[in-house]
Amino acid sequence: MALEHDVYVIGVGMHRISAAPTPVRDMAFDAGINAMNDAGIEFDTVGALYNGYASGGMTVGVTLAKDFGLTGVPVAHVENASATGSSAFREAVLSVAGGHSRCAMALGFDPSPGAMMSGGGGALSAGMLSAFFKPSVEGTLLPAAFFALWAVRRMHEAGTTVETYAKIAAKNWNHARLNPYAQRQADHQITAEEVLNSTMIAYPHTSMMAAAVGGGAACAIVADRELAEQVRDRMGHPLVKVVSSRSESERYTPGHLFMGAVVGPSELTRSTSQAAYEESGLGPADLDLVHVHDAFPVEELLYYELLGICGEGEGDKLVAEGATEIGGRIPFSTDGGLIGRGHPVGPTGLAQIWDTTVQVRGQAGSRQVEGARTGMAHMMGAGSVCIIHILQRQ
Amino acid sequence: MAERQPLEEGYFVMPDAAHQHPRLIGSYSPKADECFFPRRKRCPITFGPVEDRLLSSEGVLYSWTWLVTLKYGAMTTGGKPHGVGQVDLPEGVRVQSRLLGSQGDWEIGMPMVLDLLPISTDEAGTELCTFAFRIKEAGADGPRT
């Protein structure tokens, strides 16, 4: 089902992702103001606000909205694990697409683990943390293991090497060096050898292959055509249309896993992307850049194939050719991805929207993908929800 | 040996006089002719009723890893490096669980058998266990832990 009304991204904003214990209130305000400044609008233009945060706490989003102003705007809290920010963005898109508002804001924020444990993030209480860590049968399986199981199986089935995983991670570290909002800011070009020599987490994954965990905030504002054209004329940004917004949860597949820290079939990405291609009338060959849920490099490798960028078993060849680097045929994770830019959860999907928007506008500076017009942002939530957006410059 | 009990009810039954190994409690959907684990409230395919079914204690290793650096959930695992794997049971169910053994022990396709893994001890001294798979060795059928 296509979006009923055309929807455009008119403003995006970020607060740098980092391990610093910055209060979420400050980070969220910063990202929101940056997005409104980018669009050249004030908060009274926003007709709906969707806050995405995963670290708990009732009415945190409403409290933060008061910092922008008291306008009577409807405010809601969205949570979908890693896909929280993507879900908030989709709700904003649907609000405009359905004619419920002319302009909607999606704001994602979460504290760094340090701020969360010290109570500075307004997040998990000590009691909630205690419950989270209570011994349970399902609690004995840790998230890092699930991705490693994927990686080992892939090595068995397709002959993928640990060097291929290391090359993907190194690429994303190096993309992050070009992103001032990225958590990981290496002072030199990272090599695959360095990645392989870092601390082992879960075979075959090392610490430099893992998503960086920090806090941060990101914001995107969408609007209808009339308002988007006003912003274009006033701010000089080209129109960026949301040509697809799709979300799916699991369908049963043989060998379906119901238990574990992170579950869900990888086929979910294939079916959601097919729906996104159908909705947009585009195909993989039309994409100029792609963002994915690269918590570990095996994910990015598999998504090359599941998104139809290459054939089954051909992802390793893309890595060997450098095709997914900036400057390559189809750059992935151009802002560093979860591995380099970081994965603060609430803001992550919106950070993808931020980078995709500035890329297709031609405003990405040193990490600009030449001639970029169309970009995809893909996120998974707890392995069980897949959300894909495609943005295109008009 | 201390008395042992499941850490949580509803996932598996303890070994008994007739069965040397613990057995997982799954759900069987007669309409879909499929089994699931852990138990489902109803069939996820047909939405019809399911019935409890004790699953095979043996299967084939689908994938494995050796988890070294533990973060979230470390308090529930004792904080020590350990194996994790996925095992395919003959009923068509893939089970994700802890593996008993050491790094380097496992190869995809190995025959595996279900065993117990003590996680904690209650006030009465009873060991509270989850389930785990270990390599099935020829001629060594009994539980080891």
- Report the pLDDT value the prediction gives residue B111, as an integer from 0 to 100: 98
CB contacts, 8 Å: B70 with chain A: 142
The segment with the largest mean pLDDT, out of A48-57, A91-100, A248-257, is A91-100
- B73: pLDDT strictly greater than 60: no
pLDDT confidence of A254, banded at 50, 70, 90? confident
- B139: pLDDT strictly greater than 70: no
Least confident residue range of A251-255, A351-355, B96-100? A251-255
CB contacts, 8 Å: B48 with chain A: none
- Report the pLDDT value the prediction gives residue A1, as an integer from 0 to 100: 53
Nearest to A259 among B6, B38, B66 (CB): B38
- A219: pLDDT strictly greater than 90: yes
Q: Chain B residue with minimal CA distance to A148? A: B65
pLDDT confidence of B13, banded at 50, 70, 90? very high
* More confident of the two residues B143 and A379: A379
pLDDT, mean of residues A181-210: 96
Least confident residue range of A94-98, A238-242, A383-387, B74-78? B74-78
pLDDT, mean of residues B74-93: 81
- A167: pLDDT strictly greater than 60: yes
Least confident residue range of A24-33, A119-128, B30-39? A119-128
Work out the mean pLDDT of chain A and round it to a whole number.
Answer: 92
CB contact under 8 A, B96 and A252: no
- Report the pLDDT value the prediction gives residue B74, as an integer from 0 to 100: 44
* Domain boundaries A8-117+214-235, corresponding CATH code: 3.40.47.10
pLDDT confidence of B69, banded at 50, 70, 90? confident
- Report the pLDDT value the prediction gives residue A14, as an integer from 0 to 100: 98
Q: Kindly state whether B39 is in contact with chain A, defined as any CB-CB distance less than 8 angstroms.
A: no
Q: Chain B residue with minimal CA distance to A155? A: B63
- B96: pLDDT strictly greater than 60: yes
Q: Which CATH architecture has domain A141-211+245-393?
A: 3-Layer(aba) Sandwich (3.40)
Q: Where does chain A hold its CATH 3.40.47.10 domain(s)?
A: 8-117+214-235, 141-211+245-393
Q: Kindly state whether B68 is in contact with chain A, defined as any CB-CB distance less than 8 angstroms.
A: yes
- B38: pLDDT strictly greater than 70: yes
CB contact under 8 A, A200 and B68: yes
pLDDT confidence of A131, banded at 50, 70, 90? very low
- Report the pLDDT value the prediction gives residue B145, as an integer from 0 to 100: 53
Q: Kindly state whether B108 is in contact with chain A, defined as any CB-CB distance less than 8 angstroms.
A: yes
Three-state SS across chain A? CCCCCCCEEEEEEEEEEECCCCCHHHHHHHHHHHHHHHHCCCHHHCCEEEEECCCCCCCHHHHHHHHHCCCCCCEEEECECECHHHHHHHHHHHHHHCCCCCEEEEEEEECCHHHHHCCCCCCCCHHHHHHHCCCCCHHHCCHHHHHHHHHHHHHHHHCCCHHHHHHHHHHHHHHHCCCCCCCCCCCCCCCHHHHHHCCEEECCEEHHHCCCCCEEEEEEEEECHHHHHHHHHHHCCCCEEEEEEEEEECCCCCCCCCCCCCCCCCHHHHHHHHHHHHHHCCCHHHCCEEECCCCCHHHHHHHHHHCCCCCCCCHHHHHHHCCCCCCCCCCECCCCHHHHCCCCCCCHHHHHHHHHHHHHHCCCHHHCCCCCCEEEEEEEECCCEEEEEEEEEC
pLDDT confidence of A113, banded at 50, 70, 90? confident
pLDDT, mean of residues B97-104: 93
pLDDT, mean of residues B14-27: 95
- A130: pLDDT strictly greater than 50: no
* More confident of the two residues A116 and A249: A249
CB contact under 8 A, B97 and A156: no
User: Measured between CA atoms, how close is B129 to chain A, in angstroms?
Assistant: 8
- Report the pLDDT value the prediction gives residue A127, as an integer from 0 to 100: 43
- Report the pLDDT value the prediction gives residue A58, as an integer from 0 to 100: 81
ipTM of the complex: 0.90
Q: Chain A residue with minimal CA distance to B95? A: A257
Residue A5 · residue A96 · CB < 8 Å: yes
pLDDT, mean of residues A226-236: 97
Mind listing the pLDDT tens digit for each residue in A284-337? 999 999 999 999 999 999 999 999 999 999 999 999 999 999 999 999 999 999
Q: Chain A residue with minimal CA distance to B79? A: A140
- Report how far residue B132's alpha carbon sits from residue B84's, in angstroms, rounded to the nearest whole number: 9
CB pairs < 8 Å spanning A and B: 113
- Report the pLDDT value the prediction gives residue B24, as an integer from 0 to 100: 98
